[in-house]
Structure 1
Amino acid sequence: MLITIYRTVLIYFIVLLVVRLMGKREIGQLSPFDFVVAIIIAELAAIPMESTNFPLWKGIVPLVTLGILEVILSYLALHSPFLRRLLDGEPQVVIKNGRIIKDELRRARYNLNDLLAQLREKGIVNVGDVEFGVLETSGKLSVIPKSQKRPVTPEDLGLPTGYEGLPTILVMDGQVLRENLRLVGLDEAWLKKRLAAAGLEPEQVFLATLGTDGRLFINEDRIL
């Protein structure tokens, strides 16, 4: 029993390491090549976990080899358009100027139900409202609506807008993030003073963020 637990934990961390080495792209976007690699990794990881008689190194070596191969191919693909096309394929324009391109749908073996479903997911019910619909290598549909159907932006109305940026997290789970304080030119004494004004200690704060406008948002849902 302990041997099975040991092998499972070890394989788990090895697979986690291999996936991390393969990069974030492998997690967020699976091309056909990435999908095949993910299936093989799952199969290779299952063998040494299920069979205690199977030598552990025979399961680890293929996993590490596959991870290294994926990293090498991904690096080479950065500099080779031909290799990118070979491994990932190419995006296909399936809608152009509000008209569905049937030949591209057939070439991608992509039926109308799939196309309409992905359009509905993006809030589009009329194909005629689409300027371009691009079927990405991951199988997802990217949609560019016609200019008349896009939401009005401040730029369209000629209205000036200020810089928004991302808020800086200063406290998370009751822990003060000193490095983030340093990046925005503040210190812990300033933070404690602001929190004290709200009757709080850092340990009582679940989340506190500082916006680019200087406003401090405090979420005090932490259970003491």
Structure 2
Amino acid sequence: MIIIVIRTLILYTLVVVALRVMGKREIAQLQPFELVVLLMIADLAVIPSENIGIPLLNGIIPILVLLSANLTLAWITLKSEKARDIICGTPSILIKQGKIVEEELKKNCYNLTDLLEELRIKNVPNIADVEYAILENNGELSVFPKSQKRPTIPQDFHIIPPYEGLPLSIIMDGKLNTKNLQQSDKDLDWLKDELKKQAIDRVEDVLIASLDSSGTLFTQAKQRK
């Protein structure tokens, strides 16, 4: 039993490292060859962990080979646009200038029901509002509404809104982030004064405190038992 646990932990660590080396993309963002590598690595890790009669190297070596092949293909697609088109494919335009391209639907085995469903997911319930719809290599559908149907932005009204940066998490689950506090050009005395305004006496009693670029502190206290 101990041997099985150790073998499983070794293979688990190797798979985690392999996935970490492959990058931080989500499953839906993987290219086809990356998805194949991911599935094969999972299968190769299961067999040696279940059967102690199979040498551990029989699982480790194929995983390393697949990881090397994936990194090689990734490097090739990074350097060569032609190779990238061959390995990853090219995006398909399913709707062009407001018209459905039937040939592209058939080519990608994409029916009208799938298209309408994806448009609803993208908050575009009316297909008549779509100017372009592009099926990306990872299977995601990019939707571009017609100009008169897209949401308005401040630039349409010649308005320049104030700058909005990323908010800083000052307190997380009762723990003070001193680095973010210093980055916000605030000190601990200021923070304590702000907490007292909301009837919070201790940093440990704060669930989350976040400071936005305008200097407004959002605070939520922990639930009291």
Q: Tell me the TM-score normalized by structure 1.
A: 0.91
What CA distance in whole angstroms lies between the structure 2 residues aligned with 1:108 and 1:60?
36
* Distance in 1 (alpha carbons) for counterparts of 2:19 and 2:8: 16
Q: Are the equivalent residues in 2 in contact too, given 1:29–1:138 (CA < 8 A)?
A: yes
Question: Aligned pair 1:71/2:71, yes or no?
Answer: yes
Distance 1:200 1:16 in 2: 42
Task: Give matches, 1:100-139, under 5 Å.
Answer: 100-139=100-139
Determine if contact 1:99/1:127 at 8 Å carries over to the other structure.
no
CA distance in 2, matches of 1:27, 1:169: 28
Query: Match of 1:209, as an amino acid?
Result: S
Query: How far did residue 103 of structure 1 move?
Result: 1.0
Unaligned 5+ residue runs, structure 2?
none
Residue aligning to 2:45: 45
Whether 1:168 aligns to 2:134 is no
Q: Give the distance between the partners of 1:41 and 1:124, measured in 2 at CA.
A: 38
Corresponding residue for 1:202?
A: 203
Rounded to whole Å, the distance in 1 between the matches of 2:189 and 2:60 is: 50
Residues 205 and 222, structure 1, Cα contact 8 Å, conserved in 2: no
Aligned counterparts, 1:12-31, within 5 A: 12-25=12-25, 27=27, 29-31=29-31
Alpha-carbon shift at residue 148 of structure 1 (Å)? 1.0
CA drift at 1:56? 1.2
Listed as ranges, the gaps of 5+ residues in structure 1 are none
Amino acid at match of 1:45: A
Amino acid at match of 1:140: E
Task: Report the Cα distance in structure 2 between the residues aligned to 1:175 and 1:61, rounded to whole angstroms.
Answer: 43
Q: CA RMSD in A?
A: 1.9
Instruction: Determine helix, strand or coil for the equivalent of 1:208.
Output: strand
Paired residues of 2:176 and 2:203 also in contact (CA < 8 A) = yes
Query: What amino acid does structure 2 have at the position aligned with 1:220?
Result: A
Residue of structure 1 equivalent to 2:88: 88
SS of aligned partner of 1:134: strand
Please list, as runs of the form range in 1=range in 2, the aligned pairs for 1:132-147 lying within 5 A after superposition.
132-147=132-147
Q: CA contact under 8 A between 1:95 and 1:101: conserved in structure 2? A: yes
- TM-score under structure 2 normalisation? 0.91
Contact 1:7 1:49 in 2 (8 A): yes
Q: CA deviation at 1:112?
A: 1.6
Determine the C-alpha separation between the residues in 2 that align with 1:179 and 1:28. Answer: 34
